[in-house]
Amino acid sequence: SQQGEEDPQALSIQEGENATMNCSYKTSINNLQWYRQNSGRGLVHLILIRSNEREKHSGRLRVTLDTSKKSSSLLITASRAADTASYFCAPGGQGGKLIFGQGTELSVKP
């Protein structure tokens, strides 16, 4: 497994705005997952996109994957204060363990 690199490291927006965070990785993957972590809490799985998929939606979340550029993006639409959290991407390859980067710290102001 490899580590994804999230960008930006921190993002501050107003409630109702969209939030976009990006993830880059180095080698080929089977899938890529996004997780959310509220401060001091466990990580929560948000969405998994497989290497043969280009886009996936789940509620207000939209994830894209560009395997040619080895990058993914997570879009949260109409953000809410409750979306304030750290967001991690985790490229998945052979084996079950996931390696997490430093994440994107999202702050949504009411």
User: Does residue 91 belong to the site contacting other proteins (CB under 8 A)?
Assistant: no
CB of residue 41 to other proteins, shortest distance in Å: 6
User: Does residue 23 belong to the site contacting other proteins (CB under 8 A)?
Assistant: no
Q: What character string, x for contact with other proteins (CB under 8 A) and - otherwise, covers 24-53?
A: ------xx-x-x----xxxxxx--x-x---
Let me know: does 99 contact 90? Beta carbons within 8 Å.
yes
Report the distance separating Cα 95 and Cα 52, nearest Å: 19
Which one-letter DSSP state was computed for residue 8? -
Report the distance separating Cα 97 and Cα 78, nearest Å: 32
User: Does residue 61 belong to the site contacting other proteins (CB under 8 A)?
Assistant: no
Q: Which is nearer to other proteins, 83 or 92 (CB)?
A: 92
The residue from 98, 104, 106, 108 that contacts other proteins (CB under 8 A) is: 98
Among candidate residues 70, 60, 61, the one with its CA nearest the CA of residue 32: 70
Q: Map residue 58 onto helix, strand or coil.
A: strand
CB of residue 62 to other proteins, shortest distance in Å: 18
Report the distance separating Cα 33 and Cα 80, nearest Å: 22
- Binding interface with other proteins (CB under 8 A): 30-31, 33, 35, 40-45, 48, 50, 88, 92, 94-103
